[in-house]
Amino acid sequence: MKQLPGFKYEARKKRVILDGFVRGTDGKVRRQRTIDNVTRDEALTLWREFRADLDSGRAATGPLTLRQFIHAFLAIIAKNHEPSTRAMQKTLIDNHLLRYFGDTLLKDITSIRVVDFMADMRERKLSPSYINNAVRLLKMLLRQAVERDVLADYPIKKKVPKEKETPLRQELTTAERARFFATFNDELGFREHVNAKRAMGPIELSDAFTTPRRFGGGLRGDSEAAGACFKRFQELREFFVVAVETGLRKSDLRNLVWSQVDLAGGFIRVVMQKTKLEAEIPISRACREALRVAESRSGCETYVFLTTSGCRYSMTRIRRVFILAKKLAGISRRLRPHDLRHTFGCRLASKSVGLQIIAKALGHTTTRMAERYARPSEESMREIVAALDSE
């Protein structure tokens, strides 16, 4: 096979190394890119894009602005990111980074310019966490510019203070957790919810009917269709049980296969899709029961969680069922499916499990990230009062 110029693919590491000179620079401007976790076909596509970028001579016009860099490199940088991450990045870039720094040269995005940018976002009444996310993305892009030899030196030399974020209570309390899972066995409550959503139309007269009729209303709570909807709702109970008993993210649960589940040994071992690190989680009693139900439903197919028709649950369905269960449980505060992961870490911390063990279960290499997830619960904090009152 003819060797492609500036193309080297390492099959074992699934890594491609691209190399070449920018057209119109007389061999004075050289660009190199190293991209991991790509197949050979993907690597060839990236090589063609890379050669087209070199042939265009865009990099020969001198230092790049943030807008030019994003136009040339964002697609490659974000290739291995989750769709939700790419969507978040696009929103921040389009609405804030390009608005403020779009025509600024990369080398001129200094510490004080970033501080001014944060002040601008505060004036727009944006939340501290949103501002921190924007700055984090900007720093990532600048580091990528250095890695790709577009920028000679990282321009943010001084420390940029983060916005102070008010910590949210993200985990489910014991009472909330009990109410949440009780909804999956409460068919009467589900049917009452269906009835409450009905919106009957006005009474209308028509020559086609002998008596006045009322139209509209939608699904009736006492209908067979409502019962079928409840069965579909109930179907995801085991998914959420395993989520709160293992701390796995939605994407990892959707992709969980039976080869990663050792029921005899009592462990689930998963290489996390987001971090590429292995999480090792003991199987609790509740988790084992949920996995048995999932096993009977899936018929020991490849994936653990399948619908009765043999398909994997969509992210949309997972989100809708979670929102409905939350509503039926009377939980009105902010709560996301990802907070079941926080609940898992919080429960372990409340039982005095060490941070190193929690980090291993959550798939982190250090305890620093585990500290964000693992906070003692309200119930365990009440032990302080019991200890003080016992004197």
**Residue 282: domain span:** 181-186+235-387
For 357-386, give the DSSP string: HHHHHHT-SSHHHHHHH----HHHHHHHHH
Examine residue 218 and state whether it is found in any structural domain, yes or no: no
Tell me: the pLDDT tens digits for 110-145? Answer: 999 999 999 999 999 999 999 999 999 999 999 999
Q: Rounded to two decimals, what is the model's pTM?
A: 0.64
CATH number, domain containing residue 253: 1.10.443.10
Task: Please say whether the beta carbons of 362 and 341 come within 8 A.
Answer: yes
Q: Which of 293, 302, 308 is nearest to 240 (CA)?
A: 293
Percentage of the chain modeled with pLDDT above 70? 90
CATH number, domain containing residue 77: 1.10.150
Residue 177 pLDDT class (50, 70, 90 cuts) = very high
Tell me: the pLDDT tens digits for 276-305? Answer: 788 889 999 999 999 999 988 876 678 999
Per-residue pLDDT averaged across 227-243, rounded? Answer: 94
Question: Sign (positive/negative) of CA torsion 363, 169, 354, 366?
Answer: positive
Q: Which two tokens stand for residue 358?
A: 């929690």
Q: How many domains does the chain have?
A: 2
Examine residue 197 and state whether it is found in any structural domain, yes or no: no
Q: Which of 239, 247, 240, 261 is nearest to 362 (CA)?
A: 247
Task: Please say whether the beta carbons of 127 and 164 come within 8 A.
Answer: no
* Residue scoring higher pLDDT (199 or 147): 147
Task: Say whether both 108 and 240 belong to one domain.
Answer: no
Task: Say whether both 376 and 264 belong to one domain.
Answer: yes
For 6-40, give the DSSP string: TEEEETTTTEEEEEEE-TTSTT--EEEEEE-S--H
Rounded Cα distance between 85 and 255, Å, is 18
Task: Say whether both 17 and 133 belong to one domain.
Answer: yes
Task: Please say whether the beta carbons of 288 and 265 come within 8 A.
Answer: no
